[in-house]
Amino acid sequence: MAISLSSSSSSFLSLSGKTPSLSCSLPNPPIKTMKPNATMASYRPGLKRKHRIQKLNEDVSPHRAVSAVRLLRIEQGGAFADLLSDKGRGAAENEMAYVERTLGFRTRDLEDRDVRLVTDIVGGAVRWRRLLDHLILYLCHDERKFRDMEPLLLQILRIGFFEILKLGMPPYAVVDENVRLAKVALRPGAGNMVNGILRKLVSLKETDSLPLPKVEGDGRAQARALAVIYSHPVWMVRRWTNFLGQEEAIKLMNWNNGDPRFCLRVNAGRGYTRADLVKKLETLKVPHEPSPCMDDFVRVQTGLQTVIRAGLLRDGVCSVQDESAGLVVSVVDPQPGETIIDCCAAPGGKTLFMASRLRGQGMVSAIDINKGRLRILKETSKLHNLDGVITAIHADLRLYSEKTNLKFDKVLLDAPCSGLGVLSKRADLRWNRRLEDLEQLMVLQDELLHAASLLVKPGGILVYSTCSIDPEENEERIATFLHRHPEFAIDPVDQYVPPEFVTKEGYYLSNPVKHSIDGSFAARLIRSFNQDKAGMKN
C-alpha cells in the first residue's frame, strides 16, 4: 500500500487515569519536548557529533538502554516500532550509536538474548502504554507531575512497569537495573523517583490491588474502562463493541496485545520449495509449522531474528509475508500468460508473489506513488529472480489511469487503509490512528477504486483488498462502487480460498481471532463485456 494517513508524523502513540480526583478519560497527552540538560542535549537522531563519545558503561543493562532510546525515537523522532529492526551488524552498531548520542555513554554490545528482549519490551511497552501510563499516573499522585515528566524518565518507568507486570521478571532485578539506568542517564534524583514508584507497583501487584477501572455504567463509560484495561484507543473499543459485541472486541484486543505471529513465504521464483525452507529452519533450530491454508508458507512463532541474521531474507530464500496477504493473491489467481497490474504495489510483497505464480510467462506492472519504496521493490525483484516479469511504474494511480490506454487481465488494488487488521504486528499504529482518518481514507479508497476500474479489460478481474477488518472500509466500499459501476459484478471467491474465509456475500475475509492470522479483506469483481454500461454514475 503506497498511500497512508497518520495522526502525527510519518510514523503510524492516550492515556487514562484513575485517582480520587481524576476520571478515566484524560485526553491524549501532548508530545513532550526534550528538556535541555547535560545528558539529553545530545538527543538528535541522525546527527553526528564533532567529538565522538567513547565512554563505555558496563553496569547499565544494554537491553534496557537500547529499549529506552528506541522508545524515545518512536514517540519523539517519528520512528516505527519496527519488530524486524535487527538486520545485521551494521544495524546493531547504528543502534548503539543512538544510545551513545542520547544517553552520553555506550553499553556493551547486544547479545542474542538482549535483542529478543529489546523486541519484546519495545513492542510490549508501546502496545500497553495506555495501561502503563494509567498506573504511572496513579502512583505519581499528581497529574501535572506526570505531564511534565522528562521523556527519558517516562520511558524508563514504562519499561520497568512492563517488565514487572507483563514479562514477569524478578521485581528486585527490575527495580535495581532501571534505577541504575535513570541515575546514570539522568541524575541520582531520577533514580530515587524510579525506585519509589517501582517499589509501590511491586507492592500493589503482590497484594493484587492494582488500581484498574471497573467496567460499568453506560456504553461510553464501559469503553473508557476497557480502553485502559486492554490498552486501546477509546474510539476503537467503541467501534468494535458496536460491530462485534463486547466479548469479541475483548478477544480482538487480546490478540492485538499478544506476541505477533509471523509467516515466511518460500521464494519459488528461485527454485526453492517449502521443504528446502523447512530444512533450513530445522538447521537454525527455529520452531515452525507449515501453514494449513497456503502451500508456500511456513509459520514461525519465535526465532524470526535468527532467520534474519542467518541471511535467508537477504539471500532471497524466503520473504516475511502473512498468510492473509497470500490469500489475497489467491483471490487474484494469477495465471501464466496474463497481464496484471498492482495499483498500490510498494513494498511489493503481493507483487512478488503474483509474479512468481506467472512462472516466467506474463507481466506484472507495479505502480506506486512512492519512488523510494518502488526502487526497493525493483531491487527485491532482482533478488527473487523476478525482474523479467515485473515492470515498475512511478505514478499516481488516479492520474495514470486517466492517461493510459492500457488494459489488463487482472487489476489488484491493495488500498491504503486504517490497518486495523494488523495491530498485533504494528504496535504503534493504534496510537496514531484517529476516527477522522477512516473518513479520509474512505474517500481515497473510492477514488482509487474508480481509477483501478478503468484499467480492467472487458471480462477482466478487479480485486479490491485491505488489511482492515472494518466494514466501512471493506463491504461498504464495494457496495458504493457497484452502485456507481454497474459494469462490474461480484465474482465469489469460494473457488480460490478455503471455505472458512468466504463471507455470505462471496468476499474473502480473515479474522485474527478466528483464523490466527492478520485481518484482511478482498472482493473479486468481474467486468462485463458490455461496454455500453461502462462509466461512473453520479
pLDDT in tens, 215-241: 999 999 999 999 999 999 999 999 999
C-alpha span between 124 and 128 (Å, rounded): 6
Q: How many domains does the chain have?
A: 4
**Average pLDDT value for the chain:** 87
Judged by DSSP in three states, 12 sits in: coil
Look at residue 14 and tell me whether its pLDDT is greater than 80.
no
Do 252 and 378 lie in one domain? The reply is no
Question: What pLDDT is attached to residue 82?
Answer: 55
Which band of pLDDT confidence, cut at 50, 70 and 90, is reported for residue 305? confident
Q: Is residue 19 part of a domain?
A: no
Contact 446, 453 (CB under 8 A): no
84 or 201, greater pLDDT? 201
Residue 35 DSSP class: P
- What is the grid cell recorded at 477? 466500499
Q: What is the SS3 assignment for 508?
A: strand
Contact 288, 300 (CB under 8 A): yes
Q: Is residue 495's pLDDT more than 90?
A: yes
Q: Which amino acid is residue 441, in one-letter code?
A: L
CATH code of 80's domain: 1.10.940.10
The per-residue pLDDT for 7 is 31
507 occurs within a structural domain: yes
Whether residues 283 and 373 share a domain: the answer is no
User: Could you write out the DSSP letters of every residue in 157-216?
Assistant: HHHHHHHHHTS---HHHHHHHHHHHHHHHT-HHHHHHHHHHHHHHHHHHHTT---PPP--
CATH code at position 470: 3.40.50.150
pLDDT band for position 67 (cuts 50, 70, 90): very high
Q: What is the pLDDT of residue 356?
A: 94
d(CA 196, CA 140) in angstroms, rounded, equals 10
Q: Is 344 annotated among the ligand-binding residues?
A: yes
467 belongs to the catalytic site: yes
**Greatest pairwise CA separation for the chain in angstroms:** 78
- DSSP β-bridge partners for residue 22: 19
Which whole number is the average pLDDT over 385-408? 95
Kindly tell me if the per-residue pLDDT of 477 is higher than 50.
yes
CA distance 427 to 433: 12
* Parallel, antiparallel or unpaired: strands 508-510 and 520-527: antiparallel
Is 88 marked as binding a ligand? no
Q: Per-residue pLDDT for 321 more than 60?
A: yes
Residues 136-172: tens digit of each pLDDT: 999 998 888 899 999 999 999 999 999 999 999 999 9
410 within domain boundaries: yes
- Do both 512 and 455 map to the same domain? yes
Mean pLDDT of the 377-397 span: 93
108 occurs within a structural domain: yes
Task: Please determine, for residue 478, whether its predicted confidence score (pLDDT) is greater than 60.
Answer: yes
239 and 371 both lie in a single domain = no
Same domain, 247 and 271: no
Residue 338 three-state SS:
coil
- In this predicted structure, the answer to whether residue 385 has a pLDDT above a threshold of 50 is yes
Which contiguous run of DSSP H or E holds residue 436? Answer: helix 435-453
Q: Is 346 annotated as a binding residue?
A: yes
Residue 18 lies in a domain: no
pLDDT at 37 over 70: no
Stated as kind and residue range, the H or E segment containing 514 is helix 512-515
Determine the structural domain holding residue 294 and report its residue range: 262-320
Is residue 100 domain-shared with residue 136, that is, in the same domain?
yes
As a whole-number percent, the residues of the chain with pLDDT over 90 amount to 75
Tell me whether residue 415 is in a domain. Answer: yes
User: Known binder of ligand: residue 345?
Assistant: yes
516: how many CB neighbours lie within 10 A of its CB? 13
Percent of the chain residues past pLDDT 70, beyond the cut: 86
Give the mean model confidence (pLDDT) for residues 516-529: 96
pLDDT at 96: 83
440 and 528 inside one domain = yes
The cell numbers describing 486, all together, are 454497474
Q: What is the CATH number of the domain that holds 267?
A: 3.30.70.1170
Give me the mean pLDDT over the 114-142 stretch. Answer: 94
CB contact set of 312 (below 8 Å; sequence gap of 6+): 264, 277, 280, 318
Instruction: Give the pLDDT confidence score for residue 87 in this predicted structure.
Output: 46
Ligand-binding annotation for 396, yes or no, is yes
| Res. 452: pLDDT tops 80 | yes
Confidence category of residue 205, pLDDT binned at 50, 70, 90: very high
Residue 349 CB coordination number (10 Å): 21
Partnered with residue 264 across adjacent β-strands are: 298, 320
- 487: closest CA among 447, 450, 528? 528
Is residue 7 assigned to a domain? Answer: no
What's the rounded mean pLDDT across residues 419-430?
94
Residue 343 is assigned to a ligand binding site: no
pLDDT digits (tens, 9 = 90+) for 334-384: 999 999 999 999 889 999 999 999 999 999 999 999 999 999 999 999 989
Confidence of residue 278 (pLDDT cuts 50, 70, 90): very high
- 272 vs 84, higher pLDDT: 272
Please check if 348 is assigned to a binding site: yes
Give 56's pLDDT tier (boundaries 50, 70, 90): confident
Structural contact between residues 181 and 61, judged by C-beta atoms closer than 8 angstroms: yes
Summarize the confidence of residues 22-49 as an average pLDDT.
Answer: 38
Answer whether 35's CB lies under 8 Å from 86's CB.
Answer: no
Is residue 409 domain-shared with residue 516, that is, in the same domain? Answer: yes
Alpha carbon 404 to chain centroid, angstroms: 34
The helix/strand/coil state of 459 is strand
374 in the same domain as 315: no
Which candidate in 263, 293, 417, 467 is catalytic? 467
∠99-101-107 over CA atoms, to 5°? 35
Identify the weakest region by mean pLDDT among 58-72, 104-118, 438-452.
104-118
* Grid cell locating 120: 519484546
Q: Is 428 annotated as a binding residue?
A: no
Asked if 166 and 274 sit in the same domain, the reply is no
More confident residue, 2 or 515: 515
Q: Grid coordinates representing 159?
A: 519499561
Is 134 a domain residue? Answer: yes
Instruction: Please state, in angstroms and rounded to a whole number, the distance separating the CA atoms of residues 391 and 266.
Output: 22
Q: How would you classify the pairing of strands 297-300 and 262-266?
A: antiparallel
- Structure pTM? 0.86
The answer on 380 and 411 residing in a single domain is yes
368 and 480 together in one domain: yes
Question: Among 385, 389, 381, 379, which Cα is nearest to 339's?
Answer: 389
Q: Find the mean pLDDT for residues 399-427.
A: 96
Question: Was 315 annotated as part of a binding site?
Answer: no
Q: Is 348 left (phi over 0), alpha (psi -120 to 50) or beta?
A: left
Strand duo 262-266 + 318-320: pairing: antiparallel
